């Protein structure tokens, strides 16, 4: 499968249910995302935002519908693996870092998984740490960092393999307002600098309005605001 007209994300009539079809989560969702675009999936908890991100990232598969992400089909296992290793970064609300490892050790994981040369991985992690203000924390364990530092580390990890697409699932949801602002602005600046497409799930209107486009998610359906 190839990119559709240069779009990094193309979804058509995507449906997702759970509990053998008894719980409907997404109903006929379609969307397109272009390179360098920052798109907000805005909606209340339980509206289907996270499920849609999981489908785009290959963490789950739709019941039916067409998906193309960075020219790959996340419904296909080999494409899912290639997508995660080389094309996609994921930032979670609760960061999902390994607490007993240092910042450096956590940031090495994507490079090792992708088989990248050690020197390249080391240079990349130091570049990102400098950019987000974590160079002085590289030797510290994740459990010793503040919430904002952990989320900045998670952003660096997501960017380690120079992805074309970044999926962010409520990345400020567990942070206080000031720290959340810092993390959101950093995420957007890094994406725009490197022309990475970003799909950001958020329930906060102020973050949604700071994105290029807002897609309202309500009861499993998508509508442009």
Whether 188 is covered by a domain: the verdict is yes
Q: What is the pLDDT of residue 70?
A: 94
Residue 137 within any structural domain of the chain: no
Number of domains in the chain: 1
Q: What is the pLDDT along the chain (225 residues), one digit of tens a residue?
A: 444 457 899 999 999 999 888 899 999 999 999 998 999 999 998 899 999 999 999 999 999 999 999 999 999 999 998 998 889 999 987 878 999 999 999 999 999 888 899 999 999 999 999 988 999 999 999 999 999 999 899 999 999 999 999 999 988 888 888 888 888 888 888 888 888 999 999 999 999 999 999 999 999 999 998
- CATH code, domain with 219: 3.40.50.300
Residue 209 resides in a domain:
yes
Rounded Cα–Cα distance for residues 174 and 180 (Å): 8
CA dist., res. 65 & res. 89, Å (int): 23
pTM of the predicted protein model: 0.90
**pLDDT value of residue 1:** 40
Tell me, yes or no, whether 74 lies in a domain. Answer: yes
Report yes or no on 175 lying in a domain.
yes
- Whether residue 186 is contained in a domain is answered as yes
Q: Are strands 165-169 and 88-91 parallel, antiparallel or unpaired?
A: parallel
Q: Is residue 156 part of a domain?
A: no
Is 140 domain-assigned?
no
**Bridge-partner residues for 26, per DSSP?**
16
- The parent domain of residue 212 ranges over 9-100+165-224
pLDDT of the residue at 5? 52
């Amino acid at each position: 499968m190839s990119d559709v007209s240069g779009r990094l994300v193309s979804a058509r009539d995507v449906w997702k249910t759970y509990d053998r079809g008894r719980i409907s989560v997404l109903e006929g969702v379609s969307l397109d995302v272009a390179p360098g675009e920052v798109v907000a999936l805005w909606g209340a908890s339980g509206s289907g935002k996270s499920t849609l991100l999981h489908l785009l990232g290959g963490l789950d598969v739709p019941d039916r519908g067409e998906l193309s992400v960075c020219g790959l089909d996340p419904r296909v296992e080999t494409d899912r693996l290639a997508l995660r290793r080389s094309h996609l970064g994921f930032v979670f609300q609760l960061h999902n870092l390994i607490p007993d490892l240092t910042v450096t050790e956590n940031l090495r994981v994507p490079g090792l998984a992708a088989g990248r040369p050690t020197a390249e991985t080391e240079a990349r992690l130091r570049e990102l740490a400098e950019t987000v203000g974590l160079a002085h924390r590289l030797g510290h364990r994740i459990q010793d960092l503040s919430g904002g530092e952990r989320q900045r580390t998670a952003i660096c990890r997501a960017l380690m393999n120079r992805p074309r697409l970044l999926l962010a699932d409520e990345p400020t949801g567990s942070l206080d307002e000031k720290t959340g602002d810092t993390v959101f602005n950093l995420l957007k600046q890094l994406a725009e600098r490197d022309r990475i497409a970003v799909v950001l799930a958020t329930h906060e209107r102020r973050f949604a309005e700071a994105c290029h486009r807002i897609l309202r998610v309500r009861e499993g359906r998508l509508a442009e605001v």
